Amino acid sequence: MPESPRRIIHVDMDAFYASVEQRDYPELRGRPVAVGGPAESRGVVAAASYEARAFGVRSAIPMARALRLCPELVIVRPDFARYRAVSQQVMAILRSCTALVEPLSLDEAYLDVTDNLWGEPLASNVAKKLKALIRGQLNLSASAGVAPNKFLAKIASGWKKPDGLTVIAPERVEEFLRELPVEALSGVGPVTAKKLRAIGIERLLDVRAAEDERLHRAVGSQAGWLKSLSRGEDPRPVEPDRQRKSLSDENTYEKDLTDLEQIRGEIERIARRTAEGLAKRKLRARTVTIKVRYADFTTVTRSHTGIAPTCDAAQIAARALALLERTEAARRPVRLLGVGAHGLLEEGESLPVPGSLPF
Amino acid sequence: MNLLKTQREALLGPLQAVTGIIERRHTLPILSNVLLSRTDTHIEFVATDIEIEITTSMTIEGPGETKKLTVGARKLVDILRALPEGSEVTLALQDKRLQVKSGKSRFNLQTLSAEDFPRLVLAEASATSLSVPQKLLKALLGLVQYAMAQQDIRYYLNGLLMVVEEGQLKLVATDGHRLAYASREVGGKNLPKQEVILPRKTIIELSKLLEDSDDSVAIELSSAQAKFKFGNVVLVSKLVDGKFPDYGRVIPQNHPKKLKLERIALLQALQRAAILTSDKFRGVRWVLGDGSLKISCSNTEQEEAQEELDVPYKGETLDIGFNVGYLVDVLNNLDVAEVECGLGDANSSALFTLPGRNDFKYVVMPMRI
């Protein structure tokens, strides 16, 4: 017997930082605004208002490039303390509907509204009311996606933006999935997407049709997960207390590795993947850990804590490689390698860092 | 065959002096051993971690043959330490086992061949040699070593720069956020200039082994190795290959704001204030105004500490933050009554010096709190 479907909402604030700035400083309204570091100090765009997006300004692009795209761009230094405070107000509104709220970052959260405090049976009505409350109390707009699981809800909230509301009813899931490219799958970044394209998988539905073994060869242990997503299935519950303490990634090898260069290559690859994971969740880590399991199953870990938190792939990879030297990898055959990031800080969570000497 | 017979303490001293560098984890089992090498008149103890090699020797009386063996260092030290003070100990070799005898105690330890014990190949020519009192080098190391980096990926910072130049011995250590420099006249203006980076572990071991005495330590520096000879100890260390940052560039020259501070009063104020910093947040705020330096700390629970020192300062107000650990470190390792502090603006480094002297400099970057 299939379980009765859950009702999950993904709420995503529209251009959050930029919208907070435009709300609090009326002179910014209607103008292209980018929140981020100045172009001279190689800042990047943390958020762009919809006016700026019309010029092609996107988050994560260098501010210098943003200025070339849009010379009248207004650059605002981020004030994370204020964004955090507003974020808490948003989350409080969401929690007035259900305790099952899982914040993903300052401006995004999942809610499980199957049973909600308002006694509202229609999830689309819940979403409408949440958007109205956010608009009414905070004067900000949010987009929402309503679906039977997290994966679909998140895609749905991005479907129409800003101020959108997209509902994927259980019976319309199949129709919806037909439209999607592979990148829509969560966990499929540009690297995995390229691997999938290499074996002829362009659309999400092709994943479903792919033979298990072929898929496994292309993307390894992710295969099973991608397959269930491609069927529109995602059993992950909404976890209200989830606060990431660490993020890690590891790989077990069919054949033990004995070549140091190959092991270094693997560590670097896994470290970069871990860094990507951090960047995607807008987290930075202070501690990098590596895990090495030798052929005889003895496992060692080595870790290093830096002063400044980072999600920079090159830096995390360099630290992981330095840690590798403190193991016997290659001198002893290796069956598993892993890289972890700990001591995580969220975006805007400040950690005073002493300045660096200008060597 | 008897190797030696002596007092427990006479053996423990030279043995413990070498075993400090033995790593708990290593790849070669023999590296956890100590090499015992008996000649007619001496017995030598050697330990190594492949980067550093320490040798100590003791003269022995009584007959003996030339013999070399290696034995588990930690076990031997543990046994000797557990014996009663002042006991007489005999070491003897029997069927490739080392027997330790004392009173009615007997221990038989397995040995590994001395042939397999990895020795450092000694540098052929030493480019620069000098000799200074042990206490001078020990004090100099104490002035800078706390500023060395630990496990930094800039591996050359995990050590200490030693420069011999124009009759001076200069030491520099930095972790990228603060830098300590100390120098002393050592004579020998004609010595060729030499710059080496000594590994962190070498420095820590060296400062443990050096004594506060006027006896000298002979320093030999070559392009690949450093050698320190003092008392009955010879310490040979590989060098860190790499380019140490140009320390001269980061020592600020003309800071507009200067103040003299009582070292102990400042240290104690900082230590008290630091109680209310959390582990993650080691920030201390300095607000310098006419006649006073206000020091404050707060933690994530919004608890606050405030201290105020009277200082002979007149001028612009400055509001600047530091990692309190960096300030406590330098104040703890000086033994003077007063320090001089030079400050620029809230973004420039602070410079700590000793009044009327230019042989000590400590640069620390501020942090935004």
Q: Is A81 on the interface with B (CB under 8 A)?
A: no
Q: Is the pLDDT of residue A250 over 70?
A: yes
C-alpha A239/C-alpha B195 separation (Å) is 58
Give which of A351, A356, A305 is closest to B176, Cα–Cα. Answer: A356
Identity of the residue in B151, B153, B366 whose CB atom sits nearest the CB atom of A355: B366
Contact A307 B179 (CB under 8 A): no
| Mean pLDDT, residues A268-295 | 90
C-beta atoms of A355 and B365 within 8 A: yes
Within 8 A of A356 by CB-CB distance, chain B residues are 176-177, 365
CB contact under 8 A, A357 and B365: yes
Region B153-163 average pLDDT: 93
A350 → chain B, closest CA residue: B369
- Test A351 with B349 for CB contact under 8 angstroms: no
Is A260 at the interface with chain B, CB within 8 A?
no
Q: Which residue of A has its CA nearest to B365?
A: A355
Which pair of structure tokens corresponds to residue B54? 């320490």
pLDDT (average), residues B84-107: 94
Nearest-angstrom CA–CA distance, A186 and A193: 11
Check if the beta carbon of residue A101 is closer than 8 Å to that of residue A240.
yes
DSSP conformation class of A227: H
Q: Which of A118-127, A195-204, B203-212, B230-239 has the lowest mean pLDDT?
A: A195-204
Q: Counting beta carbons within 10 angstroms of the beta carbon of residue A235, is it exposed (0 to 12), middle (13 to 18) or buried (19 or more)?
A: exposed
Mutate which: B148, B151, B157, B172, vs A, most A CBs within 10 A:
B151
A355 vs B363: CB contact, 8 Å cut-off? no
List pLDDT tens digits, range A75-116.
998 888 889 889 989 999 999 999 899 988 889 999 999 988
HSE (side-chain half, CA atoms, 13 Å) at B286: 25
A297 touches chain B (CB under 8 A): no
In SS3 terms, A260-306 reads as HHHHHHHHHHHHHHHHHHHHHCCEEEEEEEEEEEECCCCEEEEEEEE
Mean pLDDT is lowest, of A238-252, A333-347, B301-315, for A238-252
Closest by CA to A320, choosing from A306, A345, A340, is: A340
CB contact under 8 A, B349 and A357: yes
Interface predicted TM-score (ipTM) of this complex, two decimals: 0.76
**CA-CA distance, B332 to A11, in Å (whole number)?**
53
CA angle, A54 as apex, A50 and A56 as ends, to 5°?
110
Neighbours of B181 (CB within 10 A): 25
Tell me how long chain A is.
359
Q: Does A4 touch chain B (CB under 8 A)?
A: no
Please give the domain boundaries of chain A with CATH numbers for all domains: 16-80 (3.40.1170.60), 178-230 (1.10.150.20), 246-346 (3.30.1490.100)
Q: How far apart are CA B147 and CA B290, in angstroms?
A: 31
Tens of pLDDT along B63-74?
Answer: 767 899 999 999
Those residues whose C-beta lies under 8 Å from the C-beta of residue B335, and which sit 6 or more positions away, are none
Our CA-based measurement puts residue B289 at a distance from the nearest CA of chain A, in whole angstroms, of: 23
For residue A302, the distance in angstroms to the closest alpha carbon of chain B comes to: 11
Helices within chain A (DSSP H only)? 16-24, 50-53, 63-69, 80-95, 123-133, 150-157, 173-178, 190-198, 204-209, 212-219, 223-230, 260-280, 313-324
Contact A206, A188 (CB under 8 A): no
CA B184, CA B136: separation in Å to the nearest integer?
Answer: 8
Overall average pLDDT of the A186-192 stretch: 71
Chain B contact residues (CB < 8 Å to A): 27, 151, 153, 155, 174, 176-179, 245-246, 249-250, 280-283, 321-323, 326, 347, 349, 363-369
Contact call for A357 and B176, based on CB within 8 A: yes
Q: What is the pLDDT at residue B21? A: 93
Nearest Cβ partner for A307 among B153, B177, B349:
B177
- Sequence-distant contacts of B75-83: CB under 8 A, at least 24 apart: B75/B109, B76/B15, B76/B34, B76/B100, B76/B109, B77/B12, B77/B15, B77/B16, B77/B19, B79/B107, B80/B8, B80/B11, B80/B12, B80/B15, B81/B12, B83/B8
Query: Which chain B residues have a beta carbon less than 8 Å from that of A319?
Result: 153
Using pLDDT thresholds of 50, 70 and 90, give the confidence band for residue A348: low
Q: Report the distance separating Cα B340 and Cα A308, nearest Å.
A: 29
Q: Is pLDDT at B161 greater than 60 in this prediction?
A: yes
Position B197: which residue type? I
Give the residue carrying structure tokens 């990031």: A341
Distance from C-alpha of B128 to C-alpha of B165, rounded to nearest angstrom: 10
Question: Exposure string (b/e) for B219-250, b if CB count within 10 Å is 16 or more?
Answer: bbbbeebbbbbbbbbbbbbbbbeeebbebeeb
Query: What positions of A carry a catalytic annotation?
Result: 108
Kindly tell me the sign of the dihedral angle through the C-alpha atoms of B4, B121, B193, B149. negative
Residue with tokens 């808490």: A88
pTM: 0.64
pLDDT digits (tens, 9 = 90+) for A5-14: 899 999 999 9
A358–B contact, CB cutoff 8 A: yes
Contacts of B174 in chain A (CB under 8 A): 357
The Cα B133–Cα B114 span in angstroms is 34
Q: Which residues of B touch A357 (CB under 8 A)?
A: 174, 176-179, 245, 250, 349, 363, 365
- Asked if B369 and B283 touch (Cβ cutoff 8 Å), the reply is yes
Query: Inter-chain contact A359–B176, Cβ cutoff 8 Å?
Result: yes
Q: What is the mean pLDDT of residues A48-59?
A: 94
pLDDT at position B320 over 60:
yes
pLDDT digits (tens, 9 = 90+) for A133-142: 999 999 999 9
Q: Is the pLDDT of residue A1 over 50?
A: no
- At residue B205, the 3 state secondary structure works out as helix
Q: What confidence tier does A305 reach under pLDDT thresholds 50, 70, 90?
A: confident
CB-based contact B179 A352, cutoff 8 Å = no
| Residue A306 pLDDT exceeds 80 | no
Q: In the 8-state DSSP scheme, what is residue A140?
A: -
